[in-house]
């Protein structure tokens, strides 16, 4: 995976005018950016951001998708609806959804399946809690989470993106060291290689307090193919610095 991929996860942030200001700020600084880039926005803003990104190298993403195709599932948003708005990437299994919405490995795998069936690249998030890391369970946890997705989507597993997001690093300002990230990424890479002959197509992103100051060192690791960025994706200058670091 040579061209790095940087994805902004806006989470529950934004508004019509704030989105416009952020994207205006990004557009002005994109000249030197050669990596792949996406922003995953709250569902109500898909139409707005689709229009604002027209002609931009940044592509549109969503933060969640239903495991169902259609029907009596109040509040859900389907992959075909996302597709209607030009969505190219969809985060599935973010730790905040696993934690606050009780999403299981199996549900995450079905969400990835829906995305793939509609031509949307699922960004499958995996990651351990601090307690799991301290108990030496990191490798087992991330492998179990990814195994469920491979089990359900084996035939097209080379079409996914994986994001390693240690829960203790998400939104905490504590980042995994480049060595810690590389160690887990190598484990995930080996697992993907065992599942597909096209493992080189699968980008493995790091997420968890990646910012303008630490992005270069993380992205320099051989198995870190990009980043999934929360807080620093909400400030145009910071996100642009990360995009430039990924373009070197
Ligand atoms: O959860 C994340 C991206 O999905 C990371 O969030 P922060 O960059 O704010 O730690």
Condensed to tens digits (0 to 9), the pLDDT of residues 113-151 reads 999 999 999 999 999 999 999 999 999 999 999 999 999
The residues that are catalytic are 94, 165
Position in ligand 1 atom list of the atom nearest CA 40: 4
pTM of the predicted structure, to 2 decimals: 0.98
Q: Give the residue, by CA position, lying nearest to ligand 1 atom 8.
A: 230
Distance separating alpha carbons of residues 66 and 236, to the nearest angstrom: 30
Number of domains in the chain: 1
Question: Which residue in 97, 99, 100 sits closest to 124, CA to CA?
Answer: 97
* pLDDT computed for residue 32 by the predictor: 83
Percentage of the chain exceeding pLDDT 70: 100
Give the distance (Å) from ligand 1 centre to CA of residue 93: 13
Task: State in Å: Cα 8 to ligand 1 middle.
Answer: 8
Cβ–Cβ < 8 Å for 115, 121 = yes
For the ranges 31-35, 37-41, 201-205, the lowest mean pLDDT is seen at 31-35
User: pLDDT at position 209, please?
Assistant: 97
Q: Where are the beta strands (DSSP E) in the chain?
A: 5-9, 36-41, 58-62, 89-92, 121-126, 161-164, 204-207, 226-229
Average of per-residue pLDDT values in the chain: 97
Mutate to test the pocket of ligand 1, among 7, 11, 13, 226 (most ligand atoms within 8 A of CB): 11
What is the atom index within ligand 1 of the atom nearest the CA of 173? 10
CATH number of the domain enclosing 104:
3.20.20.70
Give the per-residue pLDDT at 2: 73
Mean pLDDT of 152-174: 96
Residue 39 to residue 167: CA distance in whole angstroms = 21
Residues 177 and 42: their CA atoms lie apart, in Å, by: 30
Mutate to test the pocket of ligand 1, among 97, 230, 242 (most ligand atoms within 8 A of CB): 230
Mean pLDDT of 206-235: 98
For 98-124, what is the mean pLDDT? Answer: 98
Q: What is the pLDDT of residue 1?
A: 53
Binding positions: 9-11, 171, 209, 230-231
The pLDDT of 96-114, averaged and rounded, is 98
Ligand 1 lining (C-beta closer than 6 Å) = 9, 94, 165, 170-171, 207-210, 228-232
Q: How far is the CA of 95 from the centre of ligand 1 (A)?
A: 10
* Confidence check: pLDDT of 223 > 80: yes
User: What was the pLDDT predicted at 155?
Assistant: 87
Average of per-residue pLDDT across 35-43? 98
Q: Shortest CA distance to 164 belongs to which of 109, 205, 135?
A: 205
The range of the structural domain enclosing residue 120 comes to 5-246
* Positive or negative torsion for Cα 10, 16, 22, 27: positive
Residue with tokens 């303008």: 212
State the average pLDDT over residues 78-98: 98
- Ligand 1 atom closest to Cα of 211? 8
């Amino acid at each position: 995976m040579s061209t790095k991929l940087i994805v902004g996860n806006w989470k529950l942030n934004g508004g019509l005018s704030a989105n416009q200001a952020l994207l205006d700020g990004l557009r002005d600084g994109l000249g030197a950016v050669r990596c792949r880039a996406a922003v995953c926005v709250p569902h109500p803003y898909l139409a707005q951001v689709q229009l604002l990104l027209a002609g931009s190298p940044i592509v549109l993403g969503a933060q969640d998708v239903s495991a169902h195709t259609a029907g009596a599932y109040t509040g859900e948003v389907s992959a075909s609806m996302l597709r209607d708005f030009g969505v190219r990437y969809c985060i599935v299994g973010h730790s905040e959804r696993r934690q606050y919405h009780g999403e299981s490995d199996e549900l995450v795998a079905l969400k990835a399946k829906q995305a793939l069936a509609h031509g949307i690249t699922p960004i499958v998030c995996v990651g351990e809690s601090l307690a799991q890391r301290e108990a030496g369970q990191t490798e087992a946890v991330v492998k179990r989470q990814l195994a469920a997705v491979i089990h359900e989507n084996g035939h097209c597993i080379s079409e996914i993106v994986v994001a390693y997001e240690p829960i203790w690093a998400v939104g905490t300002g504590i980042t995994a060291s480049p060595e810690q990230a590389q160690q887990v990424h190598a484990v995930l890479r080996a697992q993907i290689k065992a599942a597909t002959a096209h493992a080189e197509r699968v980008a493995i992103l790091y997420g968890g307090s990646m910012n303008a100051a630490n992005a270069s060192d993380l992205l320099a690791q051989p198995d870190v193919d990009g980043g999934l960025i929360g807080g620093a994706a909400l400030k145009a200058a910071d996100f642009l610095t990360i995009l430039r670091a990924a373009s070197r």
